Amino acid sequence: MSITPAAIAVAARPARRGAVWRHLRRHPTIVIGGVLLGLMALAAVFAPYLGTVDPQALSPIQRLRWPSAQHWFGTDMLGRDIYSRTIYGARVSLTVGLSVALSTTGLGLAIGLVTGFSRWADALLMRVMDGLMSIPAVLIAIALMALTRASLGNVILAITIAEVPRVSRLVRGVVLALRELPFVEAAVASGTRADRILWRHILPNTLPPLLVQATYTAASAMIIEAILSFLGAGTPPNIPSWGNIMAEGRSLFQVAYYIVLFPGAFLSATVLAINLLGDGLRDALDPRLARRM
C-alpha cells in the first residue's frame, strides 16, 4: 500500500475532540479491540489473583482431566492446570508483542529517517532490507533461534530482526513523500536547518502510520512467537506460553483436544483484538486508506 503526500496531509490534520467521539461511535471496532486487549492485559498482570495455581505444579494423579469445576480448562499429561498455564501464557504473548512493537518502531524509525535523507545510506541499507524481506519472517526467526539458546529475550530479538525491514521501509516511504510537500519545501527555502526540519516537520508526521504499523507488528510478533514455541524453537518449555501449551497438546489432540483449544482461542482472541485496534487506528488517522480498505 503506497503512501501519497495527500494521505499524509490529511492524516496530519489535528482532529477535534468532538470528532473523536463521533468517530468512535461510528467505528465500534476500535472500542471492542481496545476493551478485549485491555482485559487480556489485566489477566496477564493479575494472573496470580485470578484463581490460578502454580502453572508449573505437577500432579501426576490428576493427569489429563477434562475441564471441570476444579480444573476449568482441564489438565495436561503431567497434571498441570491448563487454566493457570493459559492465563500465565498471556504474559509471554503480550510481553513479546509489546517488546517487538517498541523495538521495531525505534529501529525502523532510525533506519527509515537515515535512508530517507542520505542517498548512499539509502542505496546500501535498502538493498539489505530487500534481501531480508525476501526471507519469510518465520524462517529468519527460526534460523536465529536455532543458533542461540532458547530464552524469551532471544525470541524477542529474533522476531525484531525479522520484522524491522518492513517498518523501516514504511518510514522511508513516508519520509520520501513528505520531502516533496510544500511545508517542507517552505522550511528549506526559509533556511531552516536540516536537523530541525527532521525533528519538527518530518518526525511528527511519521508517527500516525508508525503507530498503526506497530499494532500490526505486535499481532504478527505474537503469532510468530506462538509458531516458534509450537515448533520447539521458541520460548523455553519451563515458561508456559500459548505456543508451548499447544505443542504439548499436539500428540494428544485426538484424546484431549481441550489442551490445544484454550491457548489457541486465547491467542486468536488477542491477535483479533490487536488487529481490530489497528484497523480502528488506521481509519481514525488516515481517512483516505479507511475508505479503501
CB proximity list for 38: less than 8 A, separation 6 or greater:
none
Find, among 230, 221, 215, the residue nearest to 155 by Cα: 221
Chain-centre distance of CA 78, in angstroms? Answer: 32
Q: Is 198 exposed, middle or buried (0-12, 13-18, 19+ CB in 10 A)?
A: middle
Q: Considering the complex, state which of residue 102 and residue 290 has its C-beta at the smaller distance from another protein.
A: 290
Structure-block grid coordinates of residue 192? 531552516
Q: Considering the complex, state which of residue 135 and residue 194 has its C-beta at the smaller distance from another protein.
A: 135
Q: Considering the complex, state which of residue 182 and residue 232 has its C-beta at the smaller distance from another protein.
A: 232
Shortest separation between residue 132's beta carbon and another protein, angstroms = 7
Q: Considering the complex, state which of residue 157 and residue 184 has its C-beta at the smaller distance from another protein.
A: 157
| Cα–Cα distance measured from residue 240 to residue 89, given in angstroms and rounded to the nearest whole number | 5
Structure-block grid coordinates of residue 156? 524477542
Shortest separation between residue 9's beta carbon and another protein, angstroms = 19
Shortest separation between residue 288's beta carbon and another protein, angstroms = 11
Shortest separation between residue 189's beta carbon and another protein, angstroms = 34
Q: Considering the complex, state which of residue 23 and residue 288 has its C-beta at the smaller distance from another protein.
A: 288
Find, among 249, 248, 241, the residue nearest to 224 by Cα: 241
| Cα–Cα distance measured from residue 106 to residue 171, given in angstroms and rounded to the nearest whole number | 11
Residues interacting with another protein, by CB under 8 A?
Answer: 127-128, 130-140, 142-149, 219, 223, 226-227, 230-233, 246, 250, 253-254, 257, 260-261, 264-265, 267-268, 271-272, 275-276, 279, 291-293
| Cα–Cα distance measured from residue 225 to residue 243, given in angstroms and rounded to the nearest whole number | 7
First to last CA, the chain: 10
Shortest separation between residue 202's beta carbon and another protein, angstroms = 27
Shortest separation between residue 38's beta carbon and another protein, angstroms = 17
Q: Considering the complex, state which of residue 201 and residue 282 has its C-beta at the smaller distance from another protein.
A: 282
Shortest separation between residue 236's beta carbon and another protein, angstroms = 13
Shortest separation between residue 36's beta carbon and another protein, angstroms = 11
Structure-block grid coordinates of residue 118? 542520505
Specify the length of the chain in residues: 293
Which H or E element spans position 97?
Answer: helix 82-117
Q: Considering the complex, state which of residue 24 and residue 231 has its C-beta at the smaller distance from another protein.
A: 231
> Is the Cβ–Cβ distance between 160 and 228 less than 8 Å?
no
Q: Considering the complex, state which of residue 15 and residue 255 has its C-beta at the smaller distance from another protein.
A: 255
